[in-house]
Amino acid sequence: MIFWLNGDYKENPMAIDIADRGFLLGDGVFETLLVEGGVAAFLDAHIARLKSSLAALSINAAAPDNIGDVIAGLAEKNRLGDEKASARITFTRGRSDRGLLFPASGRAAPTLLVTLMRAPNKTGDSPIIVKLSRSVRCEENITSRYKTTHYLDNILARNEAEAAGAGEAIMLNGRGRVACASSANIFVINEDGDVLTPPCSEGVLNGIVRGLLLDSVAETGIAISEAPVDLALMQRGAPFLTNSLIGLRLARLKDGGAAPTSLQVEIFNQLKSWYLDRLHRSLTESAPAP
């Protein structure tokens, strides 16, 4: 696989410094983007969130302006131009001496890695089965609000769900309320057709698709509220998951949960149809001129 590291295309996987803090300490941030035809969807929104994450973690680095061109180049070099692919932009604080302190001023050299591979096939019409995880999402921790490379809680939750025969894990926060899935945001359509999603203060990463849906009311007419969500509401309502690779996907609790009503399915389908149209517009607007 050809990747892009610190300004150059490379192929040798033995390329990360053994003293890199991202490798040793999980000291970094990342973005995962859907790519179709070599074009990254919602690139501006991803870069804006990446910049916010870098600032929050005091990583003194700037995302280059040519990330879209880099991703297009990776699609061509890896022969993925005609396929749906997943790009990952990873920034770490870079190399430093041992210990937890940041590198001394003037010695920091952040690492920027961009990779591209075939997107996993996680779409479908049937609900994804989700399992409540023992891993807790700490809503007071800064790493719950930003897309950092400190991902062990999510890893444990996802593997716990896999061992139980589920396709995703539901993570509760320290208050015992629903926060997120291991790699997705959570929405719930209640019995009255109201759409709710936990606010970021519940330990939620503000996902790109999540943000789009929260801003979609002017076009869809469907209001989405940020409000605490408990497990009982998920069991009574119709939950669905969102992220950049799956878009929108209905979910069903493995250990209980009502089947969605016709009203809930109709609302979900309207939101999904709107999102697919918005995705198409993003890809079309970003595609290079013929």
pTM of the model: 0.94
State pLDDT tens for residues 125-180: 789 999 999 999 999 998 899 999 999 999 999 999 999 999 999 999 999 999 99
- Asked if residues 214 and 224 have their Cβ atoms less than 8 Å apart, the reply is yes
State pLDDT tens for residues 179-189: 999 999 999 99
Give the pair of three-digit tokens for residue 179. Answer: 């926060």
Q: Give the Cα separation of 254 and 188 in Å (integer).
A: 16
Q: Which residues of the chain have pLDDT under 50?
A: none
- Per the document, the length of the chain is 290
- Phi and psi (nearest 5°) for 144? -80, -20
What domains can you pick out in the chain, each with its CATH number? 3-118 (3.30.470.10), 128-280 (3.20.10.10)
Query: How remote is the C-alpha of 53 from its chain's centroid?
Result: 13
pLDDT number for residue 228: 96
> What type of residue sits at position 50?
L
Residue 252 CB-half CA count within 13 A: 14
Q: Give the Cα separation of 102 and 27 in Å (integer).
A: 10
Q: Give the Cα separation of 262 and 215 in Å (integer).
A: 24
- First-last CA distance in the chain: 27
Give the pair of three-digit tokens for residue 248. Answer: 């929108």
Give the pair of three-digit tokens for residue 230. Answer: 């408990």
Give the pair of three-digit tokens for residue 108. Answer: 């920091």
Give the pair of three-digit tokens for residue 65. Answer: 């302006």
- Phi and psi (nearest 5°) for 131? -130, 135
According to DSSP, the β-strands at 39-40 and 28-36 are: antiparallel
Task: Name every residue whose Cβ is closer than 8 Å to that of residue 278 and which is 6 or more positions away in sequence.
Answer: 212, 216
pLDDT number for residue 129: 95
Region for 195 from its dihedrals, namely left if φ exceeds 0, alpha if ψ lies in -120 to 50, beta otherwise: beta
